[in-house]
Amino acid sequence: MLGSLHMNPSDSGSFPRPATGPLAALPPELFSLLEGAAVQHLVTRNAALAPLSVLAFGVRVESDPRNVTVFVPARVAAFVLENLRDNGQMALTAVSPPDHLAVQIKGVWLGERRIDDDDRAFLLRYRDAVTQVLNVVGVPRSRWRQVAWSPTVALRMEVKESYVQTPGPGAGKPCQGAT
Amino acid sequence: MIALESISRCFEGIVPATLSTCSAAGIPNISSISHVQYVDARHVAVSRQFFNKTTRNILENPQASVTVWDPMTFEIYILTLRFVRSETSGATFERMATRIEAIASHTGMTGIFRLLAADVFEVLSIYHLTEHLNPPEASEGGDSVPDMSSAQAALPPDQRVELWVLQRISSRMNQAPDLEALLQEVLDSLNEDFGFTHAKVLLVDETGRRLFTVASRGYEESGVGSEVVFGEGLIGTVARDRRILRVNQMESGLRYGRAVRAAVASADTGTPLRPELPLPGLVDAQSHLILPLLVRGLLVGVLALESRNPAAFANWHEAFMGIVADQVAAGIERLAVSDAEDPVAAGRRARSASGPQEPPSPPVPAPRRTFVFYQNDDCVFVDGEYLIRNVPGRILWKLLKVHQETGRNEFTNRELRLDPGLGLPPLRDNLESRLILLRQRLAQKCPDVRLPSRGRGRFAIEIDSELVLTERASA
C-alpha cells in the first residue's frame, strides 16, 4: 500500500530518473521521493558554518540531469538566499512519513529562475500528493492546506552527491561520487 | 527566548524533525530524527543509533540546528544549537535508551536497534516560524482535527489543580481496606480525578521475570491474567529497566522502528529478526505513560496508562505521575504483606452482613462444572476452557479439593503460605494479588465459583455448581 503513495515520476509530467550523474545511482523508490510525496527540508549554512533548514516544496530534475530545481516558500526564502549568496552550499532531504524512506542530495546553488506553468502544475500535484500521504499518518488535510504554497521561489542546484538516509545500518551511505 | 518546556509537544511531532549540521569544510548535512529529548531549560538531546555524517560533523563543528513542527498548529520552531557532549550513561541516556529499546522490542529488533549515545546540545536560540502558514480557514477540508491538547486530555476541566487530585487519590488509597479495593480506587481515581480512561496495573509474579495484569479500567476485555515478560514491549521494558516511559505519537515511533527493521532485513546481515509484537491494550493507542512501581528500589509492579490522543502525556506528567506511582507502590506493599485482621474492615463487613438482606431467589438447578488440573504446567481448565495457571492455579486446585473432600468453605492466607505444595516464595509472595487475579478470572470464566473476602487474611469459597474435579499429568 505504501508503495502506491509514492508519486510515480512518469505520471507526474516530470523527467524520468537520469541515466548519468549523482541522481542516476539512486534506487527508484528514493528517486521518487524527490518529485513525489515526501516532506522536504533544504539546509544551507552561513559564513560562520552555522546550518539552517527551511521547508521545501519539491524538486524537479532539469533537462541536464546534473541539475535540479528546488522550490521553497517565498516567505522563508530570505533565510536561504542570504546563505546561498554567501557560499552557495545546499543540501536537501526528502522523507516519506509513512515508512521513513529518506534521501539526501547535496550540491551548489546555480541561481534562481522564474516559475513557469509547468512548475505551477508540478507544485499543485506535489501539494496534493503530500497532503494525501500526510493524511495517512494522521495529519488533517485542512492543516496541511494551511501551508502557504504560493508564492514560491525556484532555486537551481547542481547535484554533487546523493545519499541513502532511510534509518538503519545503511543510513548515510553515498549513492555515487560522495567523498 | 521561548521556553523550551513550552514547545516540548513539538519534540514528537507527526512531521519528522530534522537535524542540520555542517562539516568543517562547509558542506551542510540534514537528516530526519525520530524525536528530540527535552533535557532541561537550556538543553536538548538527540538520539544516536548509528555512526553517521551527523556525528562526524558535530565533532568537527559543534554548530547545529533542529527544526520541529508543532503537531497542533504546524508552526515551526528552529532551535539553534551548540553540541556539548555525548552521553553513554546517566539519566538522559537511560530515558532515551528505554524509549528506543521499547520501540525496538515491539518491532522485533531487540539488541539490533539501540541507542549508542545521547548527543546533548545547548539551545542558543529558538526561532518561531509562522511565515509559511496562511491564516486558518473556517471550514476547509471537512476533516476533523484530533485533540492533541495534553492539558485537556490529562485533567477534567474542573479538576486541574494537581495537588487536589494528588490529595484525592492519596485519600482514596488510604481508605482501601485491602489490595483489591486499593487497586479499584487507584483506577477509579485515575479515571475520575485525572481523566485517564485507560489504565491497568500489573504485578510481578513469583518468577520475578514476568508481570501479570491484576486490574484494569476502560478496556472491552479486562486482560486480567495476561502476562508480560520482562524486557518485551513497552511494559516489559519498563519492568526490566525500572524507568518511566512516555511515548507520544506512538504510530510515528513504530513507523521509524519498522523503517530500521526493513533496512536491516534488506541489508541481509544474517541478523535474526523477531516478529513484531502486538500492542497491548488499546489497539489504536497513540500515547503511553508507563510507570514502574518501586518500593525501596524493588519492582512490585507497573502502572500503564494509554490514550488515543497522540499528545496525551506531557513532560510534567512523568514527575507528577511518578509521585502517584510511588504512592500506589507503597499501598500495594502495605496491603500485600499484612495478614492481620483489619478491625475497621471487619466491622464494616459485619455491619454489611447484618443489613437488609435481599429476598431469596427461587431455586435454580446447579450447573455442572468440570475442572481439570494439569500437573505438568499447573494449569486449570474449566469446561474445556483455560482458566488460570501457576501459583493461582495451584491455590484454586487446593481450595476446590479441600472443599469437595471436607466441605470446608473458610480459609486463611496463613494456611496457604504454610502449604509447601503451593510453591509460594518465603518473601514477597504476592499472595493477595494472586487471590485478586484468581477472583477476577473466576468472575470472568466461572461466576458460580467465588472467593469472597472475609476480612484481611481470610476468605471463603462459595460454589453454586456441581463440581467434577479431574487431575491429569499433562494435556
Query: Could you tell me which residues are beta bridge partners of residue B305?
Result: B199, B289
The Cα-based distances of B433 to A23, B397, B439 in angstroms read 62, 17, 10
State whether residue A148 sits within 8 Å of chain B by CB. Answer: yes
- Band the pLDDT of A85: cuts 50, 70, 90: very high
Burial status of residue A135 (CB atoms within 10 A of its CB: 0-12, 13-18, 19 or more) = middle
How far B409 CA sits from the closest chain A CA (Å)? Answer: 56
Q: Is residue A56 part of a domain?
A: yes
Best of B10, B12, B23, B27 to substitute, by most chain A Cβ atoms within 10 angstroms, is B27
Residues written for chain A: 179
Query: Could you tell me which residues are beta bridge partners of residue B295?
Result: B298
Q: Is residue A94 part of a domain?
A: yes
CATH class of B154-264+282-337: alpha beta
Cα B322 from Cα B225, distance rounded (Å): 25
Cα A76 from Cα B131, distance rounded (Å): 7
Q: What is the pLDDT of residues A106-157, one digit of tens each?
A: 999 999 999 999 999 999 999 999 888 888 777 778 877 788 888 899 999 9
Taking an 8 Å cut-off on Cβ atoms, the answer to whether B30 and A134 are in contact is: no
Taking an 8 Å cut-off on Cβ atoms, the answer to whether A134 and B14 are in contact is: yes
Best of B30, B35, B48, B269 to substitute, by most chain A Cβ atoms within 10 angstroms, is B30
Cα A149 from Cα A145, distance rounded (Å): 8
Q: Where are the beta strands (DSSP E) in B70-189?
A: 76-87, 117-129
Cβ-based contacts of A139 with chain B (< 8 Å): 14-15
Q: Is the dihedral of CA A30, A34, A38, A44 positive or negative?
A: positive
First to last CA, chain B: 68
How far A63 CA sits from the closest chain B CA (Å)? Answer: 26
- Between A53, A138, A139, which is nearest B18 by CB? A53
Residue B201 in contact with residue B187, Cβ under 8 Å?
Answer: yes
Cβ-based contacts of A90 with chain B (< 8 Å): 28
Task: Find all residues with CB under 8 Å of B129, minimum gap 6, and list them.
Answer: A54, A76, B75, B76, B77, B78
Residue B66 in contact with residue B47, Cβ under 8 Å?
Answer: no
B162-174 and B179-192 helices cross at what angle (nearest 10)? 160
Q: Residue B138 has what DSSP assignment?
A: S
Q: Is residue A91 part of a domain?
A: yes
The CATH homologous superfamily of the domain defined by B4-129 = Electron Transport, Fmn-binding Protein; Chain A (2.30.110.10)
**What's residue B136's pLDDT?**
66
Q: What is the pLDDT of residues B317-368, one digit of tens each?
A: 888 899 999 999 998 888 876 544 444 444 444 444 444 545 555 556 668 8
Cβ-based contacts of B107 with chain A (< 8 Å): none
Taking an 8 Å cut-off on Cβ atoms, the answer to whether B263 and A170 are in contact is: yes
The pTM of this model reads 0.69
- Band the pLDDT of A29: cuts 50, 70, 90: confident
Instruction: For strands B298-307 and B17-22, give the pairing.
Output: unpaired
**What's residue B149's pLDDT?**
52
How far A68 CA sits from the closest chain B CA (Å)? Answer: 18
Instruction: Determine the structural domain holding residue A100 and report its residue range.
Output: 2-167
Per-domain boundaries in chain B: 4-129, 154-264+282-337, 364-472
Taking an 8 Å cut-off on Cβ atoms, the answer to whether B256 and A100 are in contact is: yes
Q: Is residue A142 part of a domain?
A: yes
How far A178 CA sits from the closest chain B CA (Å)? Answer: 12
How far B171 CA sits from the closest chain A CA (Å)? Answer: 40
- Between A73, A87, A142, which is nearest B141 by CB? A142
Cβ-based contacts of B264 with chain A (< 8 Å): 168-169
How far B1 CA sits from the closest chain A CA (Å)? Answer: 18
The Cα-based distances of B126 to B5, B85, B122, B152, B443 in angstroms read 12, 20, 11, 26, 56
Taking an 8 Å cut-off on Cβ atoms, the answer to whether A104 and B142 are in contact is: no
Cα A30 from Cα A93, distance rounded (Å): 11
**What's residue A176's pLDDT?**
57
With left for phi above 0 and alpha for psi between -120 and 50, is residue B74 left, alpha or beta?
A: left
Taking only the tens of pLDDT, chain B with its 475 residues reads: 888 888 888 887 677 789 999 999 999 999 988 778 999 999 999 988 876 889 999 999 999 999 998 877 888 999 999 999 999 999 999 988 888 888 888 777 777 778 889 999 999 999 998 888 887 665 444 455 445 455 444 444 444 567 888 888 888 888 888 888 899 999 999 998 888 999 999 998 878 889 989 899 988 777 788 889 998 888 999 999 999 998 887 777 777 777 777 777 776 666 666 666 565 677 778 888 999 999 988 999 999 999 888 778 887 888 889 999 999 999 888 887 654 444 444 444 444 444 454 555 555 666 889 999 998 888 999 999 899 988 899 999 999 999 999 999 999 888 888 888 888 777 667 788 888 889 988 988 889 999 988 877 889 999 988 889 999 988 7
Cβ-based contacts of A144 with chain B (< 8 Å): 74
Taking an 8 Å cut-off on Cβ atoms, the answer to whether A166 and B263 are in contact is: yes
Cβ-based contacts of A42 with chain B (< 8 Å): 30
Cβ-based contacts of B145 with chain A (< 8 Å): 140, 142-143
* Structural domain count of chain A: 1
Helices (H), chain A: 2-5, 28-35, 74-87, 117-136, 141-144
Taking an 8 Å cut-off on Cβ atoms, the answer to whether A146 and B252 are in contact is: no
Indicate the residue type of A127: R
| Higher per-residue confidence, A13 vs A15 | A15
Residues written for chain B: 475
Instruction: For strands B368-374 and B298-307, give the pairing.
Output: unpaired
- Between A44, A51, A172, which is nearest B64 by CB? A51
**What's residue B159's pLDDT?**
45
Residues 12-71 of A with CB under 8 A from B: 39, 41-45, 48-55
Cis before A151 (ω within 30) = yes
CATH class of B364-472: mainly alpha
CATH number of the domain that residue A74 is part of? 2.30.110.10
ipTM of the complex: 0.89
| Higher per-residue confidence, A64 vs A136 | A64
- Between A39, A143, A167, which is nearest B256 by CB? A167
